[in-house]
Amino acid sequence: MAQSAGVCRFDLGGSEPSRLGCLLLFFALAVAGSAAEPVTFYPDWFPGPQFAGFYVAADRGFFREAGLEVAFVPFKFGAKTNEAIAASSVCALGSIEGYIFLQQRAAGPDLRALAAVLQESPAGFMSLTATGIASVRDFSGKRIGVHKFADPLYHWFLHRAGMSETAATLVPVGNDLGLLTRGEVQAMQGYAIEEFVRLQQMTGGQARFLSFRELGFDAYSEILYTTAPQHAQHHAALQAFLAATQRGWIHALAHPDDALAALRARLGTDFDEPYLRASLAALAPYVSGGGPPLAPMRPEKWRQMQAACVEMGFLAKAEPVENFLPPGPTSSPPP
């Protein structure tokens, strides 16, 4: 476990469980008897399973043991999160989709990616098994539901499959799964951990999911990020937040009942145990990615994400990933 100036670094490069335990113990001892440091966290969506690890870290005192007092700011459409993080007088960070992080950084703010909660995007296209859709080429002659602002992704997938934009009919959609079950569209954009779980329940498992990764766009998702000044000023607190969050995710995946209890506390009457239990199970491989939660990000994957975003038109050009990936184990390739 590396140390610098008396502060543990967020080092998840090793495989030994003792690394994490040593790290967390160090933080706990270092802050014993001292006031907790305030941290403000801005989730990029409403309460749901994708934040279960954070909720468990809060409810079981993992943030507190790391010397932090974490405040969750409820998601609101149109909120200026980047500005709020930049203006914060205390440590602040948020979560964001990987390709949106690249877009927003290109627009001006000096944002830094700290870690990826999801090692692969859970986005993709859902269809009923009876349609026989198994690849983008099977979209031909069919009506395909696409989310707002995702047209470039859809057209990129068609182009990669050697298809013209007129080969299938794009239909703007939200999250009404009835469009699929009624046959108004034959495939529809959605998330494996949300809408697809519902669709599986509605159809008795007679549904299929084509992930963006299968279609050629392998992207990190739920990026934890902050601004460059925040990263410089609150480096130790951010590392403590990441370590406690990783601990929360490890516990949430190993003890889904505790994760469900944390979700129940935040969802109230919207709590749907069968759906949320299935959603947590679907979420697990995206969080772990075959390794520990919040595993080190690979620079090469970020380069591939940028190249794809340039082709889609989301970015004008790529930049060195070192500009936004902090140096050290957080962004180094896994061993």
For the cut 80, the answer to whether the pLDDT of residue 32 exceeds it is no
For the cut 90, the answer to whether the pLDDT of residue 2 exceeds it is no
Domains of the chain: 3-120+219-331 (3.40.190.10), 123-211 (3.40.190.10)
Tens of pLDDT, residue by residue over 276-321, are 999 999 999 999 999 999 999 999 999 999 999 999 999 999 999 9
- The Cα-based distances of 137 to 134, 146, 151, 159, 167 in angstroms read 8, 16, 17, 10, 9
Q: What is the DSSP letter of 315?
A: -
Listed residue (221, 220, 225) closest to 304, CA to CA? 220
For the cut 50, the answer to whether the pLDDT of residue 207 exceeds it is yes
Q: Please give the average per-residue pLDDT across 175-202, as a whole number.
A: 97
Listed residue (218, 221, 223, 225) closest to 301, CA to CA? 218
What is the rounded CA–CA span in Å between residue 85 and residue 95?
11
Listed residue (78, 100, 113, 15) closest to 334, CA to CA? 15
Report, in this order, helix, strand and coil percent for the chain, each rounded to 5: 45, 20, 35
Residues contacting residue 19 through CB under 8 Å, at least 6 positions apart: 1, 11, 12
On whether the CB atoms of residues 126 and 199 are closer than 8 A, the answer is yes
Comparison of pLDDT for 47 and 16, the residue scoring more: 47
Give the pLDDT confidence score for residue 10 in this predicted structure: 54
Comparison of pLDDT for 34 and 234, the residue scoring more: 234
What is the rounded CA–CA span in Å between residue 104 and residue 82?
9
* Tokens matching residue 70: 């974490």
Q: Please give the average per-residue pLDDT across 116-126, as a whole number.
A: 97
For the cut 90, the answer to whether the pLDDT of residue 105 exceeds it is yes
Q: How confident is the model at residue 30 (pLDDT cuts 50, 70, 90)?
A: low
